[in-house]
Amino acid sequence: MDAIKIFAPATIANVSCGFDVLGLCLDAVGDEMIISKTAEKGVKISKIVGQNLPLETENNVAGVAVLALLEKYGEVDCGFDIEIYKKIKPGSGIGSSAASSAGAVYGVNKLLGEPFTLSELIPFAMEGERLASGNAHADNVAPALLGGFTLVRSYDPLDVIKLHSPSELYATVIHPKIEIKTADSRAVLKDTVSLKQTVTQLGNLGGLISGLYSEDYNLIGRSLQDVIVEPLRSVLIPNFDKVKEFAKEAGALGGSISGSGPSIFALSKGKETAEKVAIAMAKAYENLDIEFDTYVSKLNPEGNKIID
Ligand code: HSE
């Protein structure tokens, strides 16, 4: 195999009470990438369509992720060319940098004959996140590589677990077209949390994970509460409370900020409800002078995939 075309999925990080640890993979939105072996050694980003992003390998998230992989792999007798067709807007909160980083290492690993497992690719893709936001978080790249819901049990040492995804769970996302940089969104966070907040958050995270395994949609809904990060970040997102309220009224189990925002997500049981939730979320934005997109997506159980 000398070339590969892949779908590099969007992801939702910080799934409510799971700041920096809980992520999920979407199916309905993602980038495309073509990765080819070249006679000339090195890693070249030859084309980026759809967004104005750096082509220099060391300044591109896909480039640095592949360089990290190759450093670990050792001597290779070819180079790699990467074309990126961006559909996910950077700064949207649905894992734009993660899609490129995870997609690139997934593709190069395939072309090398899969020397690394999907889990082993996570640290390489995290280098792309470090370049994008100054923080090598894994809650977008892990679901992009493993699919479904993933939990970062530990960062040091890195320990990522793929969780069970209930079959009828759908995500609805509204993306207001304002940019919130992850670095800025991290800057509003506090270094300390109270014991009371910690107890509430732990209960909800445990409840959410239990709800995923038992496919108890009511428990999932009760557990989708973030008392630590959402209150600090939601002020950056116009009409955040209204979107959440309208989504719940339309039948959503619950929701929160997608990644570091500005996108807001809601989870629902079934596609029909998720579609009603999209209409309700859009209604919460109708009187604002801000353009937005909405997406309804089932969970993507496999993450990156080869297309064509
Ligand atoms: N966990 C990361 C953060 C996700 O909130 O900074 C960024 O998409």
Confidence (pLDDT) at 154: 98
Confidence (pLDDT) at 49: 96
85 alpha carbon – ligand 1 mean position (Å): 23
Distance of alpha carbon 163 from alpha carbon 69, whole angstroms: 25
Confidence (pLDDT) at 182: 82
Q: What is the mean pLDDT of each run of 10 residues along the chain (308 residues)?
A: 96 97 97 97 96 96 98 96 96 95 98 98 97 94 98 98 97 94 89 97 98 98 98 96 98 97 97 98 94 97 95
Q: Whose CA is nearest to atom 5 of ligand 1?
A: 260
Which atom of ligand 1 is least distant from the CA of 185? 6
Distance of alpha carbon 172 from alpha carbon 277, whole angstroms: 7
User: CATH 3.30.70.890 region(s) of the chain?
Assistant: 169-298
User: In a mutational test of the pocket of ligand 1, which residue from 14, 135, 232, 237 has the highest number of ligand atoms less than 8 Å from its CB?
Assistant: 14
From 32, 127, 129, 230, active-site residue: 129
137 alpha carbon – ligand 1 mean position (Å): 7
Closest-CA residue to 259 (of 171, 185, 152) = 185
Residue 71 bears catalytic tag: no
From 11, 182, 230, 273, active-site residue: 182
Which atom of ligand 1 is least distant from the CA of 135? 6
DSSP the chain: --EEEEEEEEEE-S-TT-TTTEEEEEEEEEEEEEEEEESS-EEEEEEEESS----SGGGSHHHHHHHHHHHHH---SSEEEEEEE--SPTTSSS-HHHHHHHHHHHHHHHHTT--S-HHHHHHHHHHHHHHHHSS---TTHHHHHH-SEEEEEEETTEEEEEEP--TTEEEEEEEES----HHHHHHT--S---HHHHHHHHHHHHHHHHHHHHT-HHHHHHH---SSSHHHHGGGSTTHHHHHHHHHHTT--EEEE-TTSS-EEEEEESHHHHHHHHHHHHHTTTTSS--EEEEEEEB-SS-SEE--
Which atom of ligand 1 is least distant from the CA of 259? 8
CATH code of the domain made up of 3-163+301-306 = 3.30.230.10
Q: Whose CA is nearest to atom 4 of ligand 1?
A: 259
Q: Whose CA is nearest to atom 8 of ligand 1?
A: 259
Distance of alpha carbon 90 from alpha carbon 101, whole angstroms: 13
* β-strand partners of 83: 34, 47
Residue 120 bears catalytic tag: no
Which tokens in the block code for residue 261? 């925002």
**Cα 300-304-308 angle, rounded to 5 deg:** 105
Confidence (pLDDT) at 180: 86
Residue 186: count of CB within 10 angstroms of its CB: 16
Confidence (pLDDT) at 188: 93
Q: Whose CA is nearest to atom 3 of ligand 1?
A: 260
Q: Whose CA is nearest to atom 1 of ligand 1?
A: 20
Confidence (pLDDT) at 308: 83
* Domain 169-298 top-level CATH class: alpha beta
- Pocket, ligand 1, Cβ cutoff 6 A: 13-14, 20, 137, 139-140, 182, 186, 259-260
Distance of alpha carbon 67 from alpha carbon 70, whole angstroms: 5
User: In a mutational test of the pocket of ligand 1, which residue from 182, 190, 232, 264 has the highest number of ligand atoms less than 8 Å from its CB?
Assistant: 182
171 alpha carbon – ligand 1 mean position (Å): 18
Closest-CA residue to 302 (of 2, 9, 3, 4) = 9
Contact 138, 160 (CB under 8 A): yes
Contact 290, 179 (CB under 8 A): no
Which atom of ligand 1 is least distant from the CA of 93? 8
User: CATH 3.30.230.10 region(s) of the chain?
Assistant: 3-163+301-306
